[in-house]
Structure 1
Amino acid sequence: MRNPYDVLGVSKTASEAEIKKAYRRLAKEFHPDRNKDDVKAKDRFAEANSAYEIIGDAEKRKQFDRGEIDADGKPRATGFEGFGGFSGRGGGFEGFPGGRGGGMGGGGMGEDIFSHIFGEAFRAGGAGPTGGFQRQAARGEDVAAELSVTLEQVGAEEKLRLALPTGREVDVVVPKGVADGQTIRLRGLGYPGGSPRAEPGDALLTIRILPHPRFKVEGADLRVTVDVPLEEAILGGSIRVPTLTGAVEMKMPAMTSSGRTFRLRGKGLPKKDGTRGDLFATTAITLPAADEAALTEYARSRRAARAA
Structure 2
Amino acid sequence: MTGMDDPYKTLGVSKTATADEIRKAYRKLAKELHPDSNPGNAAAEERFKHVSQAFKLLSDPDKRAEYDAAARAGFHPGMGGAAGGKPFNFRQSRQAGRGGFEDIFSDIFTDFGAQGGARRQQQAPRKGADMRQSLTVDFMEAAHGGKHRVSLAGGRTLDVAVPSGASDGQVLRLRGQGEPSASGGQPGDALIEIRVAEHKYFSRAGDDVRLELPISVKEAALGAKVRAPTIDGPVDVRVPPGSSTGTLLRLRGKGFAGAKGKRGDQLIRLMVALPPSDEALKAFLETWSPPDGYDPRKGLRS
Over the aligned positions, Cα root-mean-square deviation in angstroms equals 3.6
Equivalent positions of 1:269-280 (< 5 A) are 269-280=256-267
Q: 1:236 aligns with which of 185, 198, 223?
A: 223
Distance of 2:156 and 2:98 partners within structure 1: 49
Q: Does 1:157 align with 2:145?
A: yes
Give the 3 Å change call, closer, same or farther, for CA 166–102 of structure 1 in structure 2.
farther
Distance of 2:228 and 2:255 partners within structure 1: 13
Is the Cα contact below 8 Å between 2:250 and 2:266 reproduced in 1? yes
CA offset at residue 141 of structure 1? 1.6
The match for 1:220 is 207
Equivalent positions of 1:157-196 (< 5 A) are 157-175=145-163, 178-195=166-183
Give the 3 Å change call, closer, same or farther, for CA 217–170 of structure 1 in structure 2.
same
The match for 2:100 is 101
CA offset at residue 281 of structure 1? 0.7
The match for 1:268 is 255
Deviations 1:173-219 (A, max 9, x none): 22465432233433221110114x31111222221111111112212
Query: What amino acid is the match of 2:173?
Result: R
Give the 3 Å change call, closer, same or farther, for CA 86–199 of structure 1 in structure 2.
farther
Query: What amino acid is the match of 2:259?
Result: K
The worse-fitting range, judged by mean Cα deviation, of 83-92 and 229-238 is: 83-92
CA offset at residue 267 of structure 1? 1.4
Is the Cα contact below 8 Å between 1:240 and 1:247 reproduced in 2? yes
Is the Cα contact below 8 Å between 2:126 and 2:181 reproduced in 1? yes
Q: Does 1:292 align with 2:279?
A: yes
Q: What SS class does the counterpart of residue 275 from structure 1 fall into?
A: coil
CA offset at residue 289 of structure 1? 5.6
CA offset at residue 282 of structure 1? 0.8
Q: What SS class does the counterpart of residue 266 from structure 1 fall into?
A: coil
CA offset at residue 159 of structure 1? 2.6
Give the 3 Å change call, closer, same or farther, for CA 235–81 of structure 1 in structure 2.
farther
Q: What SS class does the counterpart of residue 103 from structure 1 fall into?
A: helix
Q: What SS class does the counterpart of residue 161 from structure 1 fall into?
A: strand
CA offset at residue 156 of structure 1? 0.5
Give the 3 Å change call, closer, same or farther, for CA 218–99 of structure 1 in structure 2.
farther
Is the Cα contact below 8 Å between 2:133 and 2:191 reproduced in 1? yes
Identity %: 34
Unaligned runs of 5+ in 2: 1-59, 79-89, 91-96, 108-112, 291-302
Distance of 1:110 and 1:265 partners within structure 2: 69
Distance of 2:273 and 2:102 partners within structure 1: 90
How many positions carry a matched residue from both structures?
200
Q: Does 1:139 align with 2:138?
A: no
The match for 1:206 is 193
Give the 3 Å change call, closer, same or farther, for CA 83–161 of structure 1 in structure 2.
farther
Higher Cα radius of gyration = 2
Query: What amino acid is the match of 2:162?
Result: V
Query: What amino acid is the match of 2:243?
Result: T
Query: What amino acid is the match of 2:209?
Result: L
TM-score (normalizing by structure 1) = 0.54
CA offset at residue 152 of structure 1? 0.6
Give the 3 Å change call, closer, same or farther, for CA 156–178 of structure 1 in structure 2.
closer
Give the 3 Å change call, closer, same or farther, for CA 176–295 of structure 1 in structure 2.
same
